[in-house]
Structure 1
Amino acid sequence: MEYEKELEHVVNEQGCWIFAGYKDKSGYGIITYRKKNYRAHRYMFLKHKGPIAEGLVIRHTCNTPSCINPNHLLLGTQAQNMQDKVESKILFCAGGHELTYNNSYKWNNRLICKICKAKISAQTAAKEKEIT
């Protein structure tokens, strides 16, 4: 894969670069290269930090799946990645917003913040309005 393309993103309050393209249901950014899908954070790690050894994963120090900031990405084992999740006290949604009891709820079997849910609802309403 060639690593020339810069990926569009928005910087949030925590310094995360929130991927502006398509995200999977877990919040990870997805890019397509030669008809194959890749996770955006892996692309950014490869571009800015180098190869990923077999058996290792990219860990988000910010605990935000949609973050592609190379400074927030570390190489590690899956066990380390799971330990990071256990030790993390602050959770963020796929849009990079902090999740708290007051600003989030479960929707479609995932935790979502009210800001992202409002955006999804507005987009759905706009599409329905176009159809009618």
Structure 2
Amino acid sequence: MIALPTDKVRIDGDCILWVAGQYKPSGSPMMRVNGRTRRGHRAVYEDTFGPLAPDVCVFRSCQQAACLEPSHMWSGTRADKKRWDREADHTVVPERMIRHV
């Protein structure tokens, strides 16, 4: 996993929350990786699971916008996310929606 500076994260339960730069208004983490500013979820996801196609998005099962815990992330299309939003239990990501592309 990308080495996250300890002064820029806070542990909250099983979430790793990014407390440095954030994309407004969503609160999603923004970070510098190899000299480039990147969206934190995508950077951590790709570092952990491998590259993603441009049309694939990274989502979080914990619903914490600032969370960078890889085990809370899943990838899919925007249509996958809309289907997941309609699910009653957001604590479990249905296996059919997990794509490590």
User: Equivalences for 1:28-47 in 2 at 5 Å?
Assistant: 28-33=28-33, 34=35, 36-47=36-47
Q: Structure 1: which 4+ aligned runs deviate by more than 6 Å?
A: none
In structure 2, runs of 5+ residues without a counterpart are 91-101
Percent identity over the alignment?
Answer: 21
Partner of 2:65: 65
Q: 1:88 to 1:21 in 2, by over 3 A?
A: farther
Q: 1:30 to 1:71 in 2, by over 3 A?
A: same
Cα deviation digits, residues 41-83 of structure 1 (max 9, x gap):
1111011111112311111111222110000111111111223
Partner of 1:96: none
- Aligned-residue offset at 1:86: 3.4
Q: 1:69 to 1:48 in 2, by over 3 A?
A: same
- Match status 1:22 vs 2:29: no
Partner of 1:87: 87
- Aligned-residue offset at 1:38: 1.1
Q: Which has the higher contact order (CA 8 A, sep 6+)?
A: 2
Q: Which has the larger radius of gyration?
A: 1
Cα distance in 1, alignment partners of residues 66 and 88 from structure 2: 16
Aligned residues of 2:30 and 2:39 also touching (Cα < 8 A): yes
Question: TM-score normalised to the size of structure 2?
Answer: 0.70
Q: Secondary structure at the match of 1:37?
A: strand
Aligned residues of 2:2 and 2:44 also touching (Cα < 8 A): no
Which deviates more, 67-76 or 48-57? 48-57
In structure 1, runs of 5+ residues without a counterpart are 91-132
